[in-house]
Amino acid sequence: SQTIHQWPATLVQPVGSPLSLECTVEGTSNPNLYWYRQAAGRGLQLLFYSVGIGQISSEVPQNLSASRPQDRQFILSSKKLLLSDSGFYLCAWSVTVGYEQYFGPGTRLTVT
Amino acid sequence: AQKVTQAQTEISVVEKEDVTLDCVYETRDTTYYLFWYKQPPSGELVFLIRRNSFDEQNEISGRYSWNFQKSTSSFNFTITASQVVDSAVYFCALSVVMNTGFQKLVFGTGTRLLVSP
């Protein structure tokens, strides 16, 4: 069966510090991968998606970047965090477009 | 605009009551998919159902049922005999075809369901 992991689970970082969140998927090959952000009391906003190694598409221009160095690894990064980067970050995968996405446990980021 | 509207921000019921969560969508795509997800307090989104736009049959899974009506652009979710464990935020989502040909999910803002004993 497929599983998706995210770490860390929680993170408190000062403004201006770098960020690296990691997501890995097990039990499937060449998945579509996604990064979402959920602000408090809000819906989910798609940040990045990837259909293959090295292929990253950005939905919303911002202070973040993503990379996919391996087939089942997806990394969300920032060089300098802003207060507005605080939120709940969710990684997801799907077999193909149009199909359901399966989400990881999420990382709760607080920028102070 | 392609979007999902969940007008109910929060619903409170007593255990064993039936409850319906509303979802209205707008899309210009002729083929699309609709989804429901559950987000318990732990935060992880749990997939509940996917419905193809060509399939308007209602679906039942245990205490859960879904009513898809293209005529009203609605995809409502009913929980029968609610239980405390049903307390969560529920999201409705719509697949949207992007300029790149890729499909993404557009989520509603969610409905928080509180089931009290």
For residue A43, what pLDDT is reported?
83
Is A100:A82 a contact under the CB 8 Å cutoff? no
A9 inside 8 A of chain B by CB: no
Residue B65, burial from CB neighbour count under 10 angstroms (0-12, 13-18, 19+): middle
Which DSSP string do the residues of B41-70 spell out, in sequence order? TT---EEEEEEETT----EEETTEEEEEEG
Interchain CB distance below 8 Å, A49 and B103: no
* pLDDT of residue A69 exceeding 80: yes
Helix (H, G, I), strand (E, B) or coil at B86: helix
Q: How many interchain CB pairs under 8 A, A with B? A: 49
For residue B98, what pLDDT is reported?
79
pLDDT tens figures, B53-109: 988 888 888 999 999 999 999 999 999 999 999 999 999 999 988 777 788 899 999
pLDDT tens figures, B10-36: 999 999 999 999 999 999 988 899 999
Would you call the peptide bond into A31 cis, given omega within 30 degrees of 0 as the criterion? no
Distance from CA of B107 to the nearest CA of A (A): 6
> Structure tokens of B34?
């609709």
**Chain A residues inside the 8 Å CB shell of B104:** 34, 46, 49, 59
For residue B104, what pLDDT is reported?
86
A48: CB partners within 8 A, 6+ apart: A34, A35, A56, A57, A58, A59, A64, A65, A66, A76
pLDDT tens figures, A51-63: 999 899 888 867 8
Torsion of Cα atoms, B95 then B97 then B103 then B104, to 10°: -60
For residue B57, what pLDDT is reported?
83
Banded model confidence at residue B37, pLDDT cuts 50, 70, 90: very high
* pLDDT of residue B38 exceeding 70: yes
For residue B102, what pLDDT is reported?
80
For residue B24, what pLDDT is reported?
98
Minimum CA–CA partner of A105 in chain B? B44
DSSP assignment, residue A101? P
Interface of A with B in 51-110 (CB under 8 A): 51, 57, 59, 88, 90, 92, 97-106, 108
Distance from CA of B102 to the nearest CA of A (A): 7
| Exposed e or buried b per residue across B68-93, where buried means at least 16 C-beta atoms within 10 angstroms of its C-beta | beeeebbbbbbbeebeeebbbbbbbb
What share of chain A has pLDDT > 70, as a percent?
Answer: 96
Interchain CB distance below 8 Å, A43 and B42: no
Interchain CB distance below 8 Å, B44 and A97: no
Helix (H, G, I), strand (E, B) or coil at A6: strand
Q: Identify which of A28, A35, A64 has the alpha carbon closest to the alpha carbon of residue A50.
A: A35
> Across residues A80-92, what is the average pLDDT?
94
CA B60 to chain centre: 14
A31 inside 8 A of chain B by CB: no
Distance from CA of A67 to the nearest CA of B (A): 18
- Residue B15: phi and psi, rounded to 5, are -45, 140
Minimum CA–CA partner of A108 in chain B? B43
